[in-house]
Each structure stands twice: as structure tokens, then as C-alpha cells.
Amino acid sequence: MSREIPLPRDAQITLTQHILRHQSERFRGSLSTLITQIGVAAKVIAAQVRRAGIIEVWGQTGEVNVQGEEVQRLDEIANDTFMSVLEQSGCVAAMASEEEDDWLKVPEAIAGEYLVVFDPLDGSSNIEVSTSIGTIFGIYACSSPPQEEREVLLPGREMVGAGYVIYGSSTVFVYADQTRVDCFTLDPVVGEFLLSRPNLRMPTKLGMISVNEFNEPYWPEWMGALMAELKERNRDERVITGRHIGSLVADFHRNLIKGGAYLYPVDSHNKRGKLRLLYECNPLAFISRAAGGSDTWGAGSVLELHPTSLHQRTGFAVGVKEAIELVERHYKREG
Ligand code: AFP
């Protein structure tokens, strides 16, 4: 007599199995392969990060990237790894990287049907001090391979999925489609990402704020007023604490799990904002919203902005809904 095979416990479900099980009919097939391939790139990068300090990946290459920042060796390794895995995946038509001046077109013979935008190594100034860093990515479906830059400059709301990888005390892979966010942890023994936090939801209670407070002299007035209002909540009892790593992706991950908000407004030193719309803000805004959180550039979601250049920057706040509403209220009053 036959019997049904019992479903494995959640903790034993691999990234590939999970993606195949939850993929909507519309994107079945190639998108699952793409996400699996991003998982492969993440494992290769994680292996390099883990050995930083032992193998020669610390330090700068001597080059300056399109953002005007010193390129770290690990930045370059992560970028090359990500680009080569995406190109060879057969799922990608074009890509844009924070580390590259221009967008890249995949040769037609091996091109697929997705556009991927990514920051290969966010928080790279933390590499040498062994603090969490990560890769952020956003995925768009393209009906035909992009031929011109304007076809790559898509608003974030058109993404079909987004995610990030954190190389921290463990390596985690977070992936979101419009409906759910799941977190996988790399089991270094078996070399697989296993489902560790299914259907992640952002807490509704605000418990922490991530902001570089030493930017205060450059802040617009509304930012000072917002911070004062938040600090006032602690008068009788500490209900909010400050947590800021300086690795947006790691700060976001902690806020997603524990209930917090990350703030980086436009200021007098960063007149157009510091964070990059395509590679950092859009994917994290997408994930935040899929998890029940929110985001804003000041008066609306960054996902609604129509990018005009690849390396466009923006003011950004992301996290618990209540905090984002407060940001928008202050921005409106004084912005
Ligand atoms: P890097 O990848 O160049 O280290 O940039 C990191 C980042 O974009 C973001 O992850 C941080 O939260 C932010 O910069 C920190 O910038 P400040 O030093 O201006 O606070």
C-alpha cells in the first residue's frame, strides 16, 4: 500500500524548493532559476567574505567608482561574481550595477527575460572591521531586451521581486515578491540556503531608529523636529533605541525583524540624498512594503519615482509604517 511522503519541516526547505513552491504561475520557470542562481552568487561571495583577512581581499584596488568612492577589493570580487553568474544564468537580458558606469546588455545568444539591478556589496567601508555587509538586488521582467538606457530606468513599483544577502554572523538570503518575504540561512555544512524565517512581517511597533546623527548639522529643519519628537517618547521610559551600523542592508534587516526605521534624508552635504535609488532604495522599499512596512523619499514612496539616471540618489526612510508616516508629516510641515 502506498503512503504519502510527509512534507519536510520548514527548516529543511531549500531556497530552490521554496521558490518553486511559491512562484506565481506568471513567473514560473525562469524567475525561479534566476533566484537560485543569485543564491549561487551569494555563496561564492560569502566564501570570500568569510576568508577576508586570510586571503587577499581586504583593502582598496586604487580605483574610484562611478559614485566617487574608493573601490575595495571585495567590492570588485562581488561585482564580478554577480555579473558573471547573472550573465551565464540564461535568465537575464540586461543588468545595472552600482559599481559600473553603464548598464550592461547580455549577449543575445544567452539572454533571458529579466533585468537585474544590484549593489554587489553594500556597506563596503565595513569590510575591514568584520561587520555585516551585503548584496542588494531588484528584478524586473522585460518584454524584449532593453536597447537603450531609458528602458533600464524603470520605476521601482514595476519590480517583480527583490532581495538581499547579508554576510554577517550568519549568511542570510531574504527574498520578496509582491505578497511575501522569506528569509533563508546558509547552512555552511551542507552548502544550501534553508528556509529560516518564513513569511516575515515587519513589526508595527517602532522600537529603534537607525540614522547617522552626526549629520545633524546638515539636516533640514524637519529632521531635527522629527528626532526631537521621537526622543520625547523616551521621557518616562525607554521605548525607542538607536542602532546604526552604517551598512544600510544590515540596518534594514535588523529593523525588519525587530521593528525599526532607517533614515537618510537629503541634507546640505548630500543635496540629492546619499543613497542610490535603483540599487539600494527601490529593492529595500519593495521588501519593506511586502512585509507590511513602508518607505518614503519625503512625500511618497521611492517606488513611484521615475529614475532619470542610473546612479540617481534620493532621500530615504524605510521601516515600520508608523515611523514613515511621521517622517511624511514632518516633511510636509517643514520640507
Ligand atoms: P558603502 O557601500 O560605500 O560603504 O556605502 C554604504 C551606504 O551607502 C549605506 O549602506 C550606509 O548606511 C551609508 O552609506 C552610510 O553613510 P554615512 O557614512 O554617510 O552615514
Condensed to tens digits (0 to 9), the pLDDT of residues 103-118 reads 999 999 999 999 999 9
- Residue 176 CA, ligand 1 centroid: distance in Å: 23
The predicted model gives 73-102 an average pLDDT of 95
Listed ranges 11-20, 67-76, 217-226; the one with the highest mean pLDDT = 217-226
pLDDT reading at 9 higher than 60 = no
Choose between 291 and 54: higher pLDDT: 291
Q: How far, in Å, CA of 264 to CA of 280, rounded?
A: 12
Q: Which atom of ligand 1 is nearest to the CA of 214?
A: 20
- Which CATH entry fits the domain spanning 208-334: 3.40.50.10310, 3.30.70.890, 3.30.9.10, 3.40.190.80? 3.40.190.80
Is residue 122 a contact partner of residue 249, using CB atoms and an 8 Å limit?
yes
Distance 147 CA to ligand 1 centre (A): 32
Sheet holding 181-187, edge to edge: 104-105, 92-97, 114-122, 133-141, 161-167, 171-176, 181-187, 192-197
- Nearest alpha carbon, ligand 1 atom 13: 246
Beta-bridge partner residues of 139: 116, 161
Q: Which of 38-52, 214-228, 245-259, 307-321 has the lowest mean pLDDT?
A: 38-52
Give the position of cell 508616516: 325
Provide the CATH topology of domain 10-197. Answer: Fructose-1,6-Bisphosphatase; Chain A, domain 1 (3.30.540)
Cα(328) to ligand 1 centroid in Å equals 23
| pTM: predicted TM-score of the whole model, two decimal places | 0.93
Q: Where are the domains of the chain?
A: 10-197, 208-334
Confidence at residue 11, expressed as pLDDT on a 0 to 100 scale:
54
Evaluate if residue 120 carries a pLDDT over 80.
yes
Measured over the CA atoms of residue 226, residue 227, residue 233 and residue 236, the dihedral's sign is negative
Whether residue 175 has pLDDT greater than 80: yes
Mean pLDDT of 25-31: 70
259: left (phi over 0), alpha (psi -120 to 50) or beta: left
pLDDT value of position 75 = 87
Q: What is the pLDDT of residue 85?
A: 97
Q: Which atom of ligand 1 is nearest to the CA of 275?
A: 8
Whether residue 67 is predicted with pLDDT greater than 80 in this model: the reply is no
Model confidence band, residue 12 (pLDDT cutoffs 50, 70, 90): confident
Amino acid (one-letter) located at 51: R
Average pLDDT, the chain: 92
Mean pLDDT computed over 264-271: 97
Residue type, 138: G
Q: How far is the CA of 122 from the centre of ligand 1 (A)?
A: 7
Check pocket membership of 122 for ligand 1, CB cut-off 6 A.
yes
Phi/psi of residue 45, nearest 5 degrees: -65, -45
Structure confidence at residue 79 (pLDDT): 96
- The distance of Cα 326 from the centroid of its chain, to the nearest Å, equals 23
Residue 61 pLDDT greater than 70, yes or no: no
Ligand 1 contact, 275 CB (< 6 A):
yes
Average pLDDT, integer, range 27-40:
88
Burial of 243 (0-12, 13-18, 19+ CB in 10 A): middle
Q: How confident is the model at residue 28 (pLDDT cuts 50, 70, 90)?
A: low
pLDDT exceeds 70 at position 234:
yes
Per-residue pLDDT at 51? 78
CA–CA gap between residue 180 and residue 152 (Å, rounded): 25
Nearest Cα residue to atom 6 of ligand 1: 123
* Residue 125, ligand 1, Cβ within 6 A: yes
% residues pLDDT > 90 (the chain)? 78
275, 277, 278, 314: residue to mutate for ligand 1 pocket, most atoms within 8 A of CB: 275
Q: Is the CB of 211 under 6 A from ligand 1?
A: no
